[in-house]
Amino acid sequence: MDLLPSGRLRTAKLPILLRDLQQKKKSGVLTLHRNDQERSIYLKHGDIIFATSKYEDDRLGEILLKAEKITLEQYEASANLLKTSGKRQGTLLVEQGYITPSELFTAVLGQVKEIILSLFTWIDGEYQFTEGRLPTEELITLKMSTSNLILDGIKRISDWTRLSREIPPWDSILQMSIDPKNLFQDINLIAREQMFLKFIDGTKTVRDLFKNSPLAPMSTLQMLYFLLSVGIVEVTSQAASANASADLPPQPDQVKVEEAILQAVLQEKREDVEDSHDEIFQKATEEHLASREKIRQAYEALARQDHYQVLNLRREATRDDIKKTYFKLAKEYHPDRHLQGGMEDLQEQLEALFGRITQAYDTLLTEKTRKDYDLYLVMRPFQQKWRRSDPETTINNELQIVQQYQRAKEAFKQGDMKQVVNSMEWVLRTGPEKAEHHDLLGQAFTVIPGKLREAEEAFKKAIQLNPANANSYIGLGLVYKKGGMKSRALAQFQEALKWDPDNKRAQEGIQQLKG
């Protein structure tokens, strides 16, 4: 859902608010007020990098004193110097030899985390997000996983009544999200929390999960609220009774998806416990360098590869092969990997890789689009407009097309329709026409005032290129509905149902027109 830039925590909920800002890659300051307290969280491209508080007990000196990292005499000496030096207290503590630079960094990290985690205990308060550039020259920039902070923050909440109101009804059936961007976030789960994930298989109700959970009831409630808040778990559309849900037979296709998801999510590296610390460090360094090189090579190869090559699949690959490979690669190239030490500069490459493997998966998983794509691969050598005398130009063009398409999709999420139009018009001028390109352009034109004619043409072109995509008919139907042409809109919604009989958007569109 789209959250307002300002409002009350009782309505917005801090976990949802932080996750929304992360997904939209917002940069700015989230300021929260409650009574006489004020705390601010700094975000850069959606990642939390710093936090400040006007509450005296949250100051670095007080935190170090309470943690017995400095003595009262050292605290008072640094506090006196603070009044005249104009330096930060942490800098003074290091200069006086009371703490080391490493201890200062650890203390600042702990201070920032404590400021953020304390906010999760606030039942209510006012918030305001101010978007814009950050005063990075004044901040110690810290990369922290938003999802891990949300998990730790929710574990601070001990109010059963409060949390139980935030989870679905007891007879709701939960499943793992099928969106890898939600699944493979940078999260540290203990063994029992990982075991709990295995029970979420798309057939069990909330009541069943509590009954079978290896965690204590309060910890189970906290985990459920966390998993739902960050999108790892979602409510299915399937209904079940509280008494009979445990006996429901799982759907075969759903079981395969869940198994592929769990195998990827819970996959762990094995380490030889007999290795020395030096050997372990050397292995970790070698693995890190190899991982960086693998990401770099995969990124550079994108423009030369078709969808099968991107997923490292044979042309004869089954749907099960496609799913398993996709979830494995989605975890390996998830954008959250840039949060790891030494990976900060690879964010753009990871975004491009993740977007491309998702595009390949979406195309190859559906029989109709896969057949169309296979035909395209056969005909591609004969398409004169795609022959280039300079192969390097071809590679650069195709790579830029992928990047521009991903930028357009991100701009659409953020509501920047002008950027969507600019990016997609460039894509359509530069590369081969694809249905999804016209479809995204049509969606943007639908939102822009006075552009319904352009939206209509875009959706018609998308349908011409891929007649089996129900969403293009729905988009065209919404254009006609917005333009007051109800009979045309109804015809498009009905056409969408021919290709996808269970499509809820088409069903809702028909009901609204006939209502």
Domain with CATH 1.10.10.10 in the chain: 159-250
What's the pLDDT score for residue 115? 92
For residues 351, 418, 503 and 316, what is the CA-based torsion angle, rounded to 10 degrees? -40
Task: Tell me if residue 131 falls in helix, strand or coil.
Answer: strand
| pLDDT digit string, tens, across residues 21-34 | 988 888 899 999 99
At residue 402 the predicted structure's pLDDT band, cuts being 50, 70 and 90, is confident
Does the pLDDT value for residue 79 go beyond 80? yes
8 A C-beta contact, residue 331 and residue 180: yes
Class of domain 277-365: mainly alpha
User: Minimum mean pLDDT among 111-120, 245-254, 301-310, 404-413: which range?
Assistant: 245-254
- Which of 264, 267, 246, 148 is CA-nearest to residue 201? 246
**Ramachandran category for residue 342: left, alpha or beta (phi over 0 → left; psi -120 to 50 → alpha):** left
pLDDT tens-digit series, residues 66-78: 888 899 999 999 8
Q: Tell which residue, 374, 254, 253, has the closest CA to residue 314.
A: 374
Using DSSP's 3-state secondary structure scheme, residue 282 falls into helix
Residue type for position 337: R
What's the pLDDT at 226?
A: 94
Calculate the average pLDDT of the chain. Answer: 81
What are the distances in angstroms from CA 123 to CA 6, 51, 56, 128, 362?
A: 16, 20, 21, 16, 41
Exposed / middle / buried, residue 371 (Cβ in 10 Å: 0-12, 13-18, 19+): exposed
d(CA 489, CA 486): 5
Residue 144, strand partner residues: 48
Q: What is the pLDDT of residues 42-67, one digit of tens each?
A: 988 888 888 999 988 888 889 899 88
- Find out whether 93 and 99 touch, Cβ atoms under 8 Å: yes
Q: Which of 284-288, 323-327, 436-440, 482-486 has the weakest average pLDDT? A: 284-288
Q: Which of 71-85, 100-114, 285-299 is predicted with the least confidence, judged by mean pLDDT?
A: 285-299
Would you say residue 254 has pLDDT above 50? Answer: no
Q: Measure Cα distances from 377 to 147, 302, 358, 368, 398 in Å.
A: 40, 16, 19, 14, 15
CB atoms within 10 A of CB 320: 13
Q: Where in the chain is the domain with CATH 1.25.40.10?
A: 407-514
The length of the chain is: 515
Q: Place 2 in a pLDDT band, splitting at 50, 70 and 90.
A: low
pLDDT computed for residue 237 by the predictor: 63
The one-letter amino acid at 460: K
Q: Which pLDDT tens digit goes with each residue over 121-142?
A: 999 999 999 988 776 555 566 6
CATH architecture of the domain covering 159-250:
Orthogonal Bundle (1.10)
pLDDT band, very low/low/confident/very high, at 273 (cuts 50, 70, 90): very low
Residue 314: partners with Cβ closer than 8 Å, 6 or more residues away: 308
| Residues carrying CATH 1.10.287.110, the chain | 277-365
Least confident piece of the model among 135-149, 215-229, 361-375: 135-149
Would the pLDDT of 275 be above 70? Answer: no
* Residue 151 confidence (pLDDT): 93
Residues linked to residue 31 through DSSP beta bridges, in sequence order: 40, 128
Superfamily of domain 407-514: Tetratricopeptide repeat domain (1.25.40.10)
Model-wide pTM > 0.75: no
Share of the chain above pLDDT 90, in %: 27
In whole angstroms, give the CA distance from residue 60 to residue 56: 9
**Share of the chain residues as helix, strand and coil, in percent rounded to the nearest 5:** 65, 10, 30
Retrieve residue 208's tokens: 């069943």
CA distance linking residue 98 with residue 114, whole number of Å: 22
Per-residue pLDDT, 263: 55
pLDDT at 253: 45
Going by C-alpha positions, the residue among 157, 321, 173 that lies closest to residue 244 is: 173
